[in-house]
């Protein structure tokens, strides 16, 4: 091989190397840009997370958190998890003090103004709000004492890791939003319910919004207090939302299936029936429907169930394939999906 040929081959090889390094440089630049973007804006495991709107007659752990946060802002309100007139008044007073629209509805702006950042070493009602939400939604077992201890910080970082956000132990805007949005499960024993699994989704499909769970629990508890038996609950939703098998909806945490009541009171042991079955107890099912509506006035969008008598009474609505279960859809004053707006 002549010297000229060797030189040309070396030049070609050098050129190829430069091309490879140039392409690698572009790749490294892209990766660095992506990493920089991630560093600036923490990852959101719950991409659809939002502050759940709460208003008059809502119930649940989100309401409890709001009440604690109102206390932290100097408002005189009891943290009992019931959005009664006194809480509505406190919300309006807070909105007035912050120059917000005064409507008594705790939507994204009011949540954002209430959700003050807390961290280890802090104390007070805002810390109680964090502790109560961690207990309700992640079973953290924290004392709700308002002291941001090492145990509280550990529970916060565990939740942050679960949510896929920066696990720094500080409860700031992103953590507040993800924690408030996270679903929870019912206490079946305390709420006079039994867990049924008609579609094979198991306990994984027992999750719903804090409001939906608390409102159903209040209804079934009142139903039991009137001398009635257990209420079978079917599917509601997955822990972080999304469509579940066997259902066209149930992806927003506001749809819950319950079963009709039997005359032999064996709805939790003898299987599901239809409104046409000989053992169907219309009177008891009517009482259950009324309890569901009474526990969440203004927050029940509809109850799908094909008993023509209950439909004529304006208690339920006909929908195909709803002969053997009642589909309760809860709603809020503001929601990203118009299907869930009251």
In this structure, whether the domain defined by 193-340 belongs to CATH 3.30.1380.10 is answered with yes
Residue where the block lists tokens 């259902």: 247
pLDDT at 18: 35
**How far apart, in whole angstroms, are the C-alpha atoms of residue 128 and residue 90?**
18
pLDDT at 45: 52
Q: Which of 108, 112, 77 is nearest to 91 (CA)?
A: 77
pLDDT at 200: 84
Q: Could you read off the pLDDT tens digit of each residue along the chain, which spans 342 residues?
A: 444 443 344 333 333 333 433 443 434 333 333 333 333 333 345 777 999 999 999 999 999 999 999 999 999 999 999 999 999 999 999 999 999 999 999 999 999 999 999 999 999 999 999 999 999 999 999 999 999 999 999 999 999 999 999 999 999 999 999 999 999 999 999 999 999 987 788 899 999 999 999 999 999 999 999 999 999 999 999 999 888 888 888 999 999 999 999 999 999 999 889 999 999 999 999 999 999 999 999 999 999 999 999 999 999 999 999 999 999 999 999 999 999 999
pLDDT at 69: 98
**How far apart, in whole angstroms, are the C-alpha atoms of residue 106 and residue 44?**
23
Contact residues for 190 (Cβ-Cβ < 8 A; gap 6+): 217, 221
**Rounded to the nearest 5 degrees, what angle is found at the Cα of 228, between the Cα atoms of 226 and 232?**
130
Q: Where are the domains of the chain?
A: 14-43, 61-181, 193-340
* Helix residue spans in the chain (DSSP H): 3-40, 61-72, 85-97, 108-114, 125-138, 150-163, 173-181, 210-225, 282-295, 308-312
**How far apart, in whole angstroms, are the C-alpha atoms of residue 108 and residue 177?**
9
Q: Which of 144, 94, 97, 140 is nearest to 124 (CA)?
A: 144
What one-character DSSP code corresponds to residue 46? S
Domains 61-181 and 193-340 equal at CATH topology level: no
**How far apart, in whole angstroms, are the C-alpha atoms of residue 205 and residue 195?**
10
CATH number of 61-181: 1.10.101.10
pLDDT at 23: 45
């Amino acid at each position: 091989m002549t010297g000229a040929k060797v030189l040309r081959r070396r030049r070609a090889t050098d050129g190829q190397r430069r091309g490879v390094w140039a392409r690698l440089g572009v790749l490294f630049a892209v990766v660095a840009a992506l990493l920089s973007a991630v560093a600036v804006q923490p990852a959101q495991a719950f991409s659809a997370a939002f502050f759940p709107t709460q208003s008059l007659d809502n119930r649940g752990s989100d309401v409890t958190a709001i009440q604690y946060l109102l206390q932290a802002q100097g408002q005189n309100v009891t943290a009992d998890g019931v959005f009664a007139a006194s809480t509505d008044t406190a919300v309006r007073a807070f909105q007035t003090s912050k120059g917000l629209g005064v409507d008594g509805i705790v939507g994204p702006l009011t949540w954002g103004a209430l959700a003050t950042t807390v961290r280890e070493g802090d104390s007070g009602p805002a810390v109680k709000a964090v502790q109560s939400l961690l207990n309700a939604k992640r079973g953290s077992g924290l004392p709700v004492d308002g002291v941001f201890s090492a145990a509280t910080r550990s529970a916060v970082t565990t939740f942050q890791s679960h949510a896929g956000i920066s696990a720094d132990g500080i409860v700031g805007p992103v953590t507040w939003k993800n924690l408030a949005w996270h679903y929870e499960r019912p206490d079946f024993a305390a709420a006079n319910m039994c867990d049924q699994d008609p579609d094979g989704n198991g306990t994984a499909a027992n999750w719903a919004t804090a409001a939906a769970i608390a409102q159903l629990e209040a209804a079934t508890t009142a139903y039991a207090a009137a001398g009635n038996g257990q209420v079978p609950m079917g599917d509601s939703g997955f822990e972080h939302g999304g469509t579940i098998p066997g259902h066209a909806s149930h992806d927003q945490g506001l749809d819950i299936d319950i079963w009709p009541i039997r005359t032999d009171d064996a709805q939790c042991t003898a299987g599901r029936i239809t409104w046409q079955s000989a053992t169907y107890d219309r009177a008891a099912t009517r009482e259950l429907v009324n309890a569901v509506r009474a526990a969440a006035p203004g927050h029940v969008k509809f109850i799908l169930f094909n008993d023509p008598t209950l439909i004529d009474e304006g208690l339920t609505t006909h929908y195909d394939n709803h002969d053997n279960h009642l589909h309760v859809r809860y709603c809020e004053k503001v929601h990203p999906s118009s299907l869930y707006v009251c």
